[in-house]
Structure 1
Amino acid sequence: MINGRKLPIVISIPHGGISIPPGLRTICLLSKQEILLDSDTWTRELYNFKNSVEEYVDTDIARIVVDMNRSRNDLPPFNPDGVVKTHSVVGKRVWSTPDGLPLAEVEELLNKYHFTYHKLLEMATNNPNIVLGIDCHSMLAVGPVKGQSGWDKRPLFCISNRGNVNGEFLNKPLTAPPEMMHRLKFLLEKNFKEFVGNNQNTEVPLVSINDPFAGGFITKYHGSKGIIPWIQLEINRNLYLPKEIPSSLRPSEMDLIRLEKIRDILLQVFSDLLFGEKGNKPGNKVS
């Protein structure tokens, strides 16, 4: 909370889960650590704003099982990294069944998890108190595909509205206005500059807009409705992950302290974005 009140935001965390449904555990080829690292590792802890925002939606289902940030029509074999994966982000086969999961099982998973997640987001978006949606992710410090443009020079934050690098219209409808994107960029830079200190690579911007990610299915689908603006937020894992993941796969006490500090700064950034830095009350919904 900020000043005793919840922020009028819906937080979405689609890739923080690591659970495999019981019926699929025996055919999953990935280790628990591989599942964790294929997810947006520890983002359920990083973005744990349950008690600080009006609406909060997450899932414990692993991204490799059902990717909530993909269209339900984005299926293998056309896309091995689609809504139900056949391969992990680093290209490792997920299932012992060579062609992936049977179509009937895929449909069952989508109806049980994907439909439910987006129904909850729709309900949250329609809450009249909500003025902004933020779809929360983490990104690999270095892109998974070597040789792609900028694969080794990722920023600490990427914010996305499906536009160009200035947050302006490119070839897809914007999910949040450019002015909001620039304001958020300014606030992230201002509040995290001291936190990062001298560890920031000066060749890489602290915050970029729509680069390397322009926004996924969640911002596209829910932002296109025009009820509230939606922004995708990516945090570089270098900002919060230790060099070695504990054997427990859970954050250590020191990790939790760092995660909490980042979370507190983010909460202030969100508050300043909506209310202004002097704590002024917002007027109408942000548009």
Structure 2
Amino acid sequence: MKYPFLISIPHGGNEIPEEVSSRLALLPEEVSWYCDPATRILFDFGQWVESSIDTPISRMVIDLNRPPLPLPPRDPDGIIKVRTVDGRQVYRPGQLPDLNLIHQLMVKWYFPYHQRIDEIIDKHPIQIAFDCHSMLPYGSAEQSDAGKCRPLICLGNYGDETGQAKPGSLITCPADWVVGLAEIFRDEFKGKDEVAINVPFSGGFISNAHYWRKGIPWIQIEVNRKLYETDGIHGHRPVASEDQVLELREKIWRILARFWDKLSDNK
């Protein structure tokens, strides 16, 4: 049996195209660090789901979970990154991609990803989509929760902390769905405060745009990287533990399956 899920993993890649590599101020290992390490494995649910989509491209080159406008430098954390979440310059002085290169990147990577999501929803019996990410254990300097510890899991539907719509906006899935999923996560992770709804992230462009386009419910899942990364040694950044990633993948899949089974029983 396949679950009627679409799994989107837009930030797990670390590929740097040749036309961009010489422009970057960041080292390749730093580019990987500022992405969502190991998420292409963590959320790889194989034949259990109707469909999945991911990408090899690094979000530091082009961020598929941002709107196509505005272009840099107006939004430093937009589709083309100007600065990292902790304030570092992504490109060497004078090497920020020009309009022609931005267009090439969007045509090759950005628009095909979003077109593929629409095609999957049209061709497969998708009933819910999950946009899957990882997050640092604490808020970085240029983020709204700078310096604050983050929960183990954050679920987003563009609403408030109870999953309800904020004034003047829509939510990307019913409030009782995201609350129900949060309850199962809390059961597995044994802590109410370890699972948050819409804090610190309520959802990105992918879940919002494609909910508007197709009406399929979307939930954004953010997993704290401390659940699968080992402590850095001698000043090096933490790295993903393969065993912990695989163990966590099994737990997350168990949660998603329980959520849908329970939801289906109540229909």
Trace 1:109-188 onto structure 2 (pairs within 5 A): 109-145=105-141, 148-149=144-145, 151-171=147-167, 172-188=169-185
Query: Contact 2:231/2:239 (CA < 8 Å) preserved in 1?
Result: no
Query: Contact 2:37/2:134 (CA < 8 Å) preserved in 1?
Result: yes
Rounded to whole Å, the distance in 2 between the matches of 1:217 and 1:97 is 29
Match of 1:100 in 2: 96
TM-score, structure 2 normalization: 0.91
Rounded to whole Å, the distance in 1 between the matches of 2:157 and 2:30 is 30
Kindly indicate whether residue 249 of structure 2 is the aligned counterpart of residue 272 of structure 1.
no
Match of 1:216 in 2: 204
Structure 1, unaligned stretches of length 5 or more? 194-199
- Aligned-pair RMSD on alpha carbons? 2.4
For residues 134-175 of structure 1, the C-alpha deviation after alignment (integer angstroms, 9 at most, x for no partner) is 000011111012795574121111100001111001032110
Query: Contact 1:86/1:99 (CA < 8 Å) preserved in 2?
Result: no
Kindly indicate whether residue 225 of structure 2 is the aligned counterpart of residue 237 of structure 1.
yes
Rounded to whole Å, the distance in 1 between the matches of 2:123 and 2:106 is 25
**Change in CA separation of 1:147 and 1:42 when aligned onto 2, cut-off 3 Å:** closer
Trace 1:5-20 onto structure 2 (pairs within 5 A): 5-20=1-16
Deviation at 1:65, TM superposition (A): 0.6
Rounded to whole Å, the distance in 2 between the matches of 1:183 and 1:75 is 38
TM-score, structure 1 normalization: 0.85
Partner SS for 2:193: coil
Deviation at 1:52, TM superposition (A): 2.3
For residues 102-136 of structure 1, the C-alpha deviation after alignment (integer angstroms, 9 at most, x for no partner) is 11110110111000110111112223411110000
Q: Of 190, 213, 222, which aligns to 2:187? A: 190
Rounded to whole Å, the distance in 2 between the matches of 1:39 and 1:263 is 18
Deviation at 1:36, TM superposition (A): 1.0
Match of 1:89 in 2: 85
Deviation at 1:261, TM superposition (A): 1.2
Name the count of aligned residue pairs. Answer: 264
Partner SS for 1:208: strand
Rounded to whole Å, the distance in 2 between the matches of 1:23 and 1:72 is 20
Deviation at 1:257, TM superposition (A): 1.7
Match of 1:258 in 2: 244
Query: Contact 1:162/1:214 (CA < 8 Å) preserved in 2?
Result: yes
**Change in CA separation of 1:59 and 1:146 when aligned onto 2, cut-off 3 Å:** closer
Query: Contact 2:230/2:239 (CA < 8 Å) preserved in 1?
Result: no
Rounded to whole Å, the distance in 2 between the matches of 1:178 and 1:186 is 12
Rounded to whole Å, the distance in 1 between the matches of 2:135 and 2:75 is 20
Rounded to whole Å, the distance in 1 between the matches of 2:11 and 2:224 is 14
